[in-house]
Amino acid sequence: MNIDDIWIGDEVMVKSSGVRGWFQGKGNSGLFKIKSADGKILEVNAEEIALIGHPTKSDKNTGGIKSSEKAGKPSSKKSTILNLEYESLKNDFPRTHDRPLDYQLEVCEEFIQSLLAQKKTFCKIIFGDDAILKSSVAALLRKIPEVSIYTPHPNQDAWEVWFDDESE
């Protein structure tokens, strides 16, 4: 399994210890961060991480999700999930920008508008462990009248967002 197949919020297991948790991305030390169920952050090498429920090599072509699909692209069955981690966005939504936060919020707003155009009723926006990004996304969500409810997703550093159902 390639570390690029895992994204923030995926449930993973540390192979050597059997500890389960949620993938948090790459840390400053170069190791990858796992947030365990008790809230502790573990840092491990990529070889130590196993994606829980990951398809085997034999069914990788049918059951795997490509990393480009994980960013919320329409061909994905996870098209209602947006990972706002900066490194992920740079690869999936390349464009010029002066400030990373402005860039992340711009992509987030475009993502929400595309979901509204598709008449989706729910999405998950992953912000990672960036508190400034979390509060900025919350401020953006408050400005969008179609957002009926948004709530933090426990243990996954994400907002769960529900939109008004216009058909009612």
Average pLDDT score, the chain: 78
- Whether 65 has a pLDDT exceeding 50, the answer reads no
Identify whether residues 73 and 45 lie together within a single domain.
no
Query: Judging by beta carbons within 10 Å of its beta carbon (0-12, 13-18, 19+), is residue 88 exposed, middle or buried?
Result: buried
Residue 68, pLDDT score: 36
Buried b (16+ CB within 10 A) or exposed e, 19-47: bebbbbbeeeeeebbbbeeeeeebebeee
Note the pLDDT of residue 26.
Answer: 80
Q: Residue 149 forms beta bridges with which residues?
A: 162
Residue 127: which domain range? Answer: 67-163
Judge if 80 and 156 occupy the same domain: yes
The predicted pLDDT at position 34 comes to 87
Mean pLDDT of 52-67: 40
- Tens-place pLDDT, residues 104-149: 999 999 999 999 998 888 999 999 888 899 999 999 999 999 999 9
**Is the separation of the CB atoms in 159 and 151 below 8 Å?**
yes
What CATH number is given to the structural domain containing 112? 3.30.1370.110
Supply the pLDDT for residue 67.
Answer: 36
Alpha-carbon distance 117 to 115, whole Å? 5
Same domain, 46 and 71: no
Residues 73 and 148 in one domain: yes
CATH number at residue 23: 2.30.30.140
C-alpha–C-alpha distance, residues 37 and 40, integer Å: 7
Do 16 and 79 belong together in one domain?
no
Do 150 and 71 share a domain, yes or no? yes
Position 59 in a domain: no
pTM attached to this predicted model? 0.55
- Among residues of the chain, what percentage have pLDDT more than 70? 81
Specify whether 73 is located in the same domain as 46. no
